[in-house]
Amino acid sequence: MAEDPAERTREAPWRAGMRAARANVVPGLVVQSVMVVLLLAYYFHPATREVLERLAAVKVRWGYAYSAVAAVVAGAAVPELLRIFVFQKGRFMRRNLSNFVFGSVFWVLIGILVDFFYRCQAVWFGDEAKASVVIPQVLVDQFLFTPLITAPLTTWIYEWKNRGYRMRSDFFTIAYYRNHILPTLMAIWGVWIPIVSILYTLPETLQIPVYSLALTMWVMIYTWMSEERVGRG
C-alpha cells in the first residue's frame, strides 16, 4: 500500500508534544503555583485548613454528585461563560448551548471516573502524605491511568465532536495514538505531574475538591489563551 503523503509531512509526535507543552507553560505555572500555596496553607495556616476540611465534609456528604457538579462547572460552565461575556461581548450564541450540553455530559463522566480512581488509589497505596504513598500514586496516575484511559478518551471524544459526531476509521490504531494522543500526553505531563503530586499529599476526601479548583483555573486560563490565539488569527 502506498504511503499517505500527509503521513510523510506530519509533524513528529514528540515535536508536536513539545510545542503543546511550551504553549501550556504559562497556564501550567499559574495553576501549579496556586496549588503549592494552597498545600502550604492547608498544613500551616489553620483558617485555610478549616475551610478546606469543611469542603471535604461536603464532598463526603455528596459523594459522586459533588464530583459531577464540580466537573460540569470547571469543564462546561466556565469556558462557555468566559466565551459569552468576554469574547462574544455578552452575546449568547446557539453553539454556546451545544458546547455546554456536550461539555456537561463529558465532564460528568470524567469527574466521576477520576473520583473513583482517587478512591482506588487510597485503597491500593494508602492515604498518607509520605513518599512511599505519593510516588506510586503519581506514577500510576500519570503513566497508566492517563495514557490508557483519560488522554485517549478525551482526544477521541473531542475529535468525534469536532468532526460533526463522525468517527474516524483509525481512532483505535497505534498510528492514531502516536500522532494524536502522544502529543496530548506530553502536554498533560508538563502541567499535571506537579499538580497530582500536590493532590496526593492531601487527604483523599480533599483531593477531588482541590482537583476541581485546579481544573477550573486551568480551563479558564487555557480557554482565555485559546480564544486570544483565535482572535489574533
Give the global pTM: 0.84
Q: What is the DSSP letter of 88?
A: S
pLDDT digits over 60-98, tens only? 999 999 999 999 998 889 888 888 887 788 899 888 899
Kindly state the cell numbers that stand for 183. Answer: 502529543
Query: What b/e sequence results for 13-34 when a residue is b if at least 16 CB atoms lie within 10 Å of its CB, and e otherwise?
Result: beebbeebbebbeebbeebbee
**Amino acid letter at 208?**
I
CA dist., res. 121 & res. 137, Å (int):
6
Task: Decide: 52 and 206 in contact? Cβ < 8 Å.
Answer: yes
Q: For position 28, what pLDDT does the model report?
A: 75
Domain ranges of the chain: 24-225
- What single string gives the DSSP state of each residue in 70-128? HHHIIIIIHHHHHIIIIISTT---HHHHHHHHHHHHHHHHHHHHHHHHHHHHHHHH-S-
Q: Which pLDDT band, with edges at 50, 70 and 90, does 104 fall under? A: very high
pLDDT digits over 27-41, tens only? 778 888 989 999 999
CA dist., res. 75 & res. 113, Å (int):
14
